[in-house]
Every structure is written in structure tokens, then in C-alpha cells.
Amino acid sequence: MRQNIIAGNWKMNLDFNQATELVKEILDKQKESDVLTIIAPPYTHLKSIKDMLGQTDIRLAAQNCHHQESGAYTGEISVKMLKSVGVDYVILGHSERREFFNEDSLAISYKVSKVLENGLIPIYCCGETLEERNEAQHFHIIEKQIKQGLFQLNELELNDCLIAYEPVWAIGTGETASPDQAQEMHAFIRKTIANEYNEIIANNISILYGGSVKPSNAVELFNCPDIDGGLIGGASLQVDQFIELTQSF
């Protein structure tokens, strides 16, 4: 079911002490809200932060996983391991994983299926580069990423997914897609899903915007009819900004 969501992706930031201090501040300053709040710390902090969150409404996400249940994959983390420490969501296909670790949508599709198989919820990321947008390839790129990464799923499985649209040219650059640009792509993603499945599935899935969202632009972005929240990078490390974003709907 579609809902408003703020998901904080901490990336490779904050040592253990810094991370626990940030969580304490978030818990102290959190306000009553019907917005679903998710935080995605590094792997090493997940269990301790889950214990800190306790019975609060804040949910825990991992930033990646491996597609196999177990085995000789040195340095990797399985979904079963993540589930065992209380993780609820897994971010998959982030542009930095695609760019720096050569992950493609087909490989990510196996991770999506494994996450769902274990009862967790994937946050599937898609997005185009500046070059692809300038060459008017952005719709083609997004359609391809959605089809290759998600269309192996049946209707019930897809209904349990979240999608994050992140224009690569607006991540960590301070640039942001205009509300019109962001809304246009979110609507296109829904249309792509509706064409393959149906309007009900397309209209039920939450789609987040992930491109330098901050309090100064959040209200305008979140007022767009097809934008259901944000996948937040830098602002998720600043407690006051992060709390303000959860109040921006």
C-alpha cells in the first residue's frame, strides 16, 4: 500500500560511536508523524542500532546484500544474516553500486528476489546519468532498469517492493531535478508498471525521489502526485534536517 516515506541512506559514513549518537538524537527529536521513517546504517552498526530502536516506529534497512543464501563469498552479507539482526528493508541497485561495483539490473534482480523470499522489502533504485539525459535516453534507461530488475516478479511480489528514482546527475552534486522533471519520471515509472501489470499495482507502489533532497526543496517535491517520499543521503546525517524532512508532507 502506498505511503509517505523518508529513508536515510548513511552510505559509508559514521563510525560506531557517531552512529549511535545520531540515533539517540533522532529518537530524542522525533515528532509524531504518519510518515514511515527508515534508516540504513553500515552493516557493522545494524544490530546495535536495531536494539536502540526497540519498539519505535523507525525501521531499519541495509545498504546491499548478496543474492546467495550462504557460501564461499568472502566479504559478502546474505539476506538471512540481515534478517537475523532485525533488518526490515534492503536498498538494492543504488547508482553508486552500479557505477563503482559494476552491478547491473539483471544481477540486482536476483537480489530483489532473494530479499522478498526472506520476507524483507527491497528498495529498488533506478536512475540515469547526465549524459543519458542529455542524449534524451533517460526514459529508455529507466524503462530498461525497471523491466530487468523487477519484471521477474509476480503481482504480489512487486506489491511488496519500493522503488527509488535517483537521477545520477543529482546525487551528491547539489543539483536537483526540478519538481516537474521528478514528477514526470515518477509518472513514467508508474506507467511502465501499469503496462506490464495493471493500474492497481502501479498506483499502490511507493516511489521515492533520491536526488539531493533537503528541507529547502522537499515540500515542493513531495507535493507532486507521484512522489511518495525521499531516499535521503547527506541530509540523513544531519538530525535536524532529517527530522524536518519527515515533516515535509
Q: Which residues are catalytic?
A: 94, 166
The amino acid at 12: M
Rounded to a whole number, what is the distance in angstroms from the first to the last CA of the chain? 17
Contact 142, 126 (CB under 8 A): yes
Contact 236, 9 (CB under 8 A): yes
Distances (CA, A) of 78 to 17, 74, 83, 123, 160: 25, 11, 9, 16, 19
Q: Whose CA is closest to 40, among 18, 66, 24, 58?
A: 58
Per the rule left: phi > 0, alpha: psi between -120 and 50, beta: everything else, 10 is alpha
- For residue 208, give the 3-state DSSP assignment: strand
Round to whole Å and give the CA distance between 228 and 212.
15
Residue with cell 559494476: 102
